[in-house]
Chains A and B, each alone.
Chain A
Amino acid sequence: DQQVKQNSPSLSVQEGRISILNCDYTNSMFDYFLWYKKYPAEGPTFLISISSIKDKNEDGRFTVFLNKSAKHLSLHIVPSQPGDSAVYFCAASVNNAGNMLTFGGGTRLMVKP
């Protein structure tokens, strides 16, 4: 039973346009959410996070939105660049659970020049 789901295995976007990656979760105890990016042959690298007390967090071209009532979060990348092509993982944790992250299955983003 997957507690964190990324229903789109892949997404293709034109350079300069917005990329929107979605993530749904079922565990209402989750209160911290993260996005990681993974290039081939490398480990995941942290991208951006959001606490459940917020509904938006922005860092440069990357913005994460959290809708707690819908148990849904999304990552917006604008403008998208070819270097953003990677697999993006959504992850969630419970504050008092020692940073044990539960990951989604990932979405492969391809940004076309």
Chain B
Amino acid sequence: ETGVTQTPRHLVMGMTNKKSLKCEQHLGHNAMYWYKQSAKKPLELMFVYNFKEQTENNSVPSRFSPECPNSSHLFLHLHTLQPEDSALYLCASSQYRGNEKLFFGSGTQLSVL
């Protein structure tokens, strides 16, 4: 398997649930990212990990908790979400140096009821 793989593709959860999104990259990259795409809005950067260390938290609420156990895997743990958190969550990876393109997964379409 190649590229960036995200699971699940679709997720419906209640506001009191706890769930996790998973991302795996097979490209040998050392940086991984979470982006959020809400309806009618641009993609928004949430978190950046460089060599497993979080280097950016773009003012994301604490109900989103990222985890990066190694350079190939990235998780986004979700708890007590709000309906307005419904969005497409995209994982990406790249080499962590300037002017490198990001490779995206297919995303997880999340609906919070």
Of B13-21, B41-49, B62-70, the one touching chain A: B41-49
Enumerate B92-111 residues with CB–CB distance to A below 8 Å: 92, 94-107
B102's partner among A41, A51, A101, A105 (CB-CB below 8 A) is: A101
Which of A46, A51, A99 counts the most B-chain CB atoms under 10 A from its CB?
A99
Q: If the complex has contacts A96-B98, A98-B56, A99-B96, are A46 and B103 also in contact, measured as CB distance less than 8 A?
A: yes
Distance in angstroms from A56 CB to nearest chain B CB is 17
A43's partner among B42, B56, B96, B104 (CB-CB below 8 A) is: B104
Enumerate A56-113 residues with CB–CB distance to B below 8 Å: 89, 93, 95-106
A100's partner among B9, B45, B97 (CB-CB below 8 A) is: B45
Q: Assess whether B74 is interfacial by the CB under 8 Å rule.
A: no
The answer to whether A101 and B45 have CB atoms under 8 Å apart is yes
In the bound complex, CA of A4 to CA of B96 (Å)? 22
Complex: chain B residue closest to A95, CB-CB? B98
The residues of A with any CB-CB pair to B shorter than 8 Å are 2, 4, 31-32, 34, 36, 41-46, 49, 51, 89, 93, 95-106
The 5 closest A-B pairs by CB, nearest first: A43-B104, A95-B98, A103-B43, A32-B99, A103-B42
